[in-house]
Amino acid sequence: MLNKYLLLSLLFSLLSCNQMPEPEVEKSSPNTEESKVPSFDLPALLTAKDGQKINSKEDWENIRRPELLQLFEKEMFGKVPSNDIKVNVEERIATNNALGGKTTIKEVIFTFSNQSKELKATLLLFLPNNRTSPAPIFLGYNFDGNHTIFPDESISLPNTWMRKNTTYGMTDDTASQLSRGVKSFRWPVLNIINRGYGLATMYYGDIDPDFDDNFENGIHALFPQKPNKSEWGSLATWAWAFSKVVDYFETTNTIDHEKVIVMGHSRLGKTALWAGAVDERYAMVISNNSGCGGAALSKRKFGESINAINTRFPHWFNDNFNQYNDQEEKLPFDQHQLIALMAPRPVYIASAVGDTWADPKGEFLSGKHATPAYQLYGLNGLEIAEQPPINQPENSGHIGYHVRSGKHDLTVYDWEQYLDFADMHLNEIKD
Ligand code: GCU
């Protein structure tokens, strides 16, 4: 059975270069030539709005970090509207005997509610059975439903919107049994469990279906007003729900809530970065091929532009962000400052050499230019002048980086680097 699924999964991985049909783009002839990158000044990381130089971690934490966080919130990801959403959590063990007895799989049903409406979302948990202490855990959204990441019949199918995908047997906007396990190539559960970590994942569409519906569905339906121009888009919505997951981790004794690693691929890597910025409870943050609006510097104007992302995905960021369409030079911030918001926590940025749309060099440069924030804590960030060679991770500081061979994807190679980086850094935190 397992082998059949693994084979299917591999086949799907080969077939699915473009994993899901997306709103048609006009990729408005993105710049992919280094010689056409304009000269630009990066907004200063360690100078406050009033011109004060930031020289200590105290000034960073009390002055500059809050200033930058607010800037990203107001101009890009959007503020969470005030709310009184209740969160109720119910656990169910799917099996305690998967992977030859190595892992317990649980489903945790989150019910978000206001007085009149509710929304349910399922967190899928894999916990190592051979630990005597609470497990450190990776937390990341998946694109296609929890049932696609691991071939076990006990895992429920989502009953929310899914992007139609005939390759996965989805002939309409609902999940299909045929797609069980088809994304397991992105989620090496066995390696994660063997290394002593847990894995928690949720289908992002459970929280907010990923299409522009003028904020009618998903968690937005529980909020009486439509977001105003500085309030949240979907990325901030997904990040918000993950904070509720961390609240839940704090109540369980099987998970080490001081060792939660938030991670994500692509748009969900952008989400992981924003989640890590707004919630300092994450011990480590991982951006896999997050590109524009994630780790890549916008002012390089390489690959996906702000105009392209806002046109195709008008629901991801807030409306204020539209003012920078084709106006990257006017941005009062850039993505190195987003990476710096993780300091002093370890952050890992991964690129793929074939992923020019995500601007691998721009992703590297963000890490490099976030380094001064780490130095305020006496830590190394990403202290190399140039991108390292392909498949040679640079992980000696608190900002890890690699550029992998191949295309836009989340692979076992990427995971191996994250597991190594987590081993290196999470041991610094006492059990
Ligand atoms: C599109 C989009 C990217 C995004 C990617 C993904 O390519 O333009 O910004 O990162 O989808 O999420 O797969």
pLDDT (mean) for 116-136: 97
- DSSP for residue 21: -
Domain boundaries, the chain: 2-12+56-426
**For a pLDDT cut of 90, what percent of the chain falls above it?**
86
- For residue 317, give both structure tokens: 């960021």
28 classed as catalytic: no
336 classed as catalytic: no
Is the model's pLDDT at 391 over the cut of 70? yes
- DSSP for residue 53: B
CB of 316 closer than 8 Å to CB of 283: no
Residues 102 and 373: their CA atoms lie apart, in Å, by 40
List the beta bridge partners of residue 98.
103
Query: One of 369, 398, 408, 425 is an active-site residue; which one?
Result: 408
Q: What is the CATH number of domain 2-12+56-426?
A: 3.40.50.1820
What is the average pLDDT score of the chain?
93
Alpha helices in 80-154 (DSSP H): 98-101
The position carrying tokens 């970065």 is 273
Residues 369 and 45: their CA atoms lie apart, in Å, by 8
**What's the CA-to-centroid distance between 267 and ligand 1, angstroms?**
6
Which atom of ligand 1 is closest in space to residue 265's alpha carbon?
12
**What's the CA-to-centroid distance between 94 and ligand 1, angstroms?**
32
Pairing of β 118-128 and β 198-203: antiparallel
CB of 179 closer than 8 Å to CB of 169: yes
pLDDT at residue 199, rounded to an integer: 98
Is the model's pLDDT at 360 over the cut of 90? yes
pLDDT at residue 358, rounded to an integer: 98
Query: One of 179, 266, 298, 366 is an active-site residue; which one?
Result: 266
pLDDT (mean) for 71-75: 98
pLDDT tens per residue, range 228-285: 999 999 999 999 999 999 999 999 999 999 999 999 999 999 999 999 999 999 999 9
pLDDT (mean) for 346-351: 99
* Ligand 1 cavity residues, CB under 6 Å: 266-267, 291-292, 304, 309, 357
Residues 139 and 386: their CA atoms lie apart, in Å, by 30
Edge to edge, what strands does the sheet with 86-97 contain?
Answer: 86-97, 103-113, 118-128, 198-203, 135-142, 255-265, 284-288, 347-352, 399-404
Sorted by sequence, the CB contacts under 8 Å of residue 194 that are 6+ apart come out as 102
Task: Indicate the top mutation candidate among 266, 292, 311, 317 to test ligand 1's pocket, ranked by most ligand atoms within 8 A of CB.
Answer: 266
CB of 331 closer than 8 Å to CB of 42: no
pLDDT tens per residue, range 368-386: 999 999 999 999 999 999 9
How many Cβ atoms are within 10 Å of 426's Cβ, its own excluded? Answer: 19
Residues 264 and 267: their CA atoms lie apart, in Å, by 8
CB of 328 closer than 8 Å to CB of 305: yes
**CA 214 and chain centroid, separation:** 23
pLDDT at residue 57, rounded to an integer: 98
pLDDT tens per residue, range 135-181: 999 999 999 999 999 999 999 999 999 888 888 888 888 888 889 99
pLDDT (mean) for 319-330: 97
Rounded alpha-carbon distances, angstroms, from residue 400 to 103, 166, 389: 29, 37, 14
pLDDT tens per residue, range 193-230: 999 999 999 999 999 999 999 999 999 999 989 999 99
Is the model's pLDDT at 20 over the cut of 60? no
